[in-house]
């Protein structure tokens, strides 16, 4: 029986790894396509609706995820993505430097996020203190777990950790949050973020530093550290 259990665990691990590799591979291809989309941008700028559609397909996931991490809300992320790409198609002709397409697109997305946040400031007054499960916060599910192996239980822990991190992100102020998301999850360079936000590179780095520091404090407050998550990151 134990051998069967180990076989199952091995299989599930292999499958997970395979999926992860496939995802990484797909993301790499997508990244390559995004990096080499100059021709597409030129055609889209000339009003080619097919090229515009392809650009939307290429960048939609990135902008949606940026919006999702900014709001932790699917509907708002969709709203921001739609507005961003409508604005992109309408104003692409005005883009002077194709090399700055990425920062230009994120600038539109950031502006839309800020606008949505302003609109939803009053309507969405539910704080995390209200939705946070205090009991779970004080004693995370994995704290008492004796078996700390790379298994489905660990995957569940990672999902929970991911949720906690996203909620922690939402506790940062808007300026730090947008910088942290753009740097950590969207992979923009500090120079590009500075272009997006129209601020100096040093200010971006400073916001990033305080953003990460803030996140660390929030996680410490929630008792999330190397010991509680139970494995070396």
Q: Which is nearer to another protein, 6 or 25 (CB)?
A: 25
CB 84 within 8 A of CB 63: yes
- CA 169/CA 114 separation, integer angstroms: 16
CB 177 within 8 A of CB 169: yes
Task: Dump the DSSP string for 108-127.
Answer: HHHHHHHHHHHHHHHH----
Give the chain's length: 233
- CA 230/CA 233 separation, integer angstroms: 9
- CA 54/CA 65 separation, integer angstroms: 18
Q: Which is nearer to another protein, 118 or 231 (CB)?
A: 231
Check binding of 49 to another protein (CB under 8 A): yes
* Contact pattern for another protein over residues 181 through 220, marking x by CB under 8 A: --xxx---xx-----------x--xx-xxx-x--xx--x-
The 3-state DSSP class for residue 142 equals coil
Check binding of 173 to another protein (CB under 8 A): no
Task: Please report how close the Cβ of residue 143 comes to another protein at its closest, in angstroms.
Answer: 16
Task: Please report how close the Cβ of residue 22 comes to another protein at its closest, in angstroms.
Answer: 13
Check binding of 43 to another protein (CB under 8 A): no
* Contact pattern for another protein over residues 55 through 94, marking x by CB under 8 A: -xx--xx--xx--xx----x--xx--xx--xx--xx--x-
Q: Which residues between 103 and 132 bind another protein (CB under 8 A)?
A: none
Q: Helices in 72-151 by DSSP H: which ranges?
A: 74-91, 101-123, 128-131, 134-138
Q: Which is nearer to another protein, 117 or 165 (CB)?
A: 165
Check binding of 156 to another protein (CB under 8 A): no
The 3-state DSSP class for residue 162 equals helix
- CA 191/CA 66 separation, integer angstroms: 18
Contacts with another protein by CB under 8 A lie at 49, 52-53, 56-57, 60-61, 64-65, 68-69, 74, 77-78, 81-82, 85-86, 89-90, 93, 158, 161-162, 165-166, 183-185, 189-190, 202, 205-206, 208-210, 212, 215-216, 219, 224, 226, 229, 233
């Amino acid at each position: 029986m134990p051998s069967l259990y180990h076989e199952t665990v091995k299989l599930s691990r292999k499958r997970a790894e395979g999926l992860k590799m496939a995802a990484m591979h797909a993301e790499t291809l997508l990244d390559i396509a995004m990096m080499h989309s100059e021709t597409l941008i030129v055609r889209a700028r000339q009003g080619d609706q097919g090229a515009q559609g392809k650009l939307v397909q290429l960048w939609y996931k990135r902008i949606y995820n940026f919006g999702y991490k900014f709001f932790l809300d699917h509907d708002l992320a969709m709203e921001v993505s739609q507005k961003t790409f409508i604005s992109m198609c309408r104003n692409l002709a005005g883009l002077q430097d194709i090399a700055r397409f990425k920062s230009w697109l994120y600038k539109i997305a950031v502006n839309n996020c800020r606008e949505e946040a302003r609109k939803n400031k009053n309507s969405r007054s539910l704080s995390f203190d209200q939705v946070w499960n205090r009991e779970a916060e004080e004693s995370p599910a994995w704290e008492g777990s004796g078996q700390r192996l790379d298994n489905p239980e660990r995957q569940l822990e990672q999902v929970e950790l991911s949720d906690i991190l996203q909620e922690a992100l939402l506790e940062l102020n808007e300026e730090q949050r947008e910088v942290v998301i753009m740097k950590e999850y969207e992979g923009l360079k500090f120079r590009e973020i500075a272009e997006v936000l129209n601020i100096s590179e040093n200010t971006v780095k400073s916001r990033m530093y305080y953003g990460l520091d803030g996140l660390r404090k929030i996680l410490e407050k929630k008792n999330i550290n190397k010991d509680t998550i139970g494995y070396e990151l």
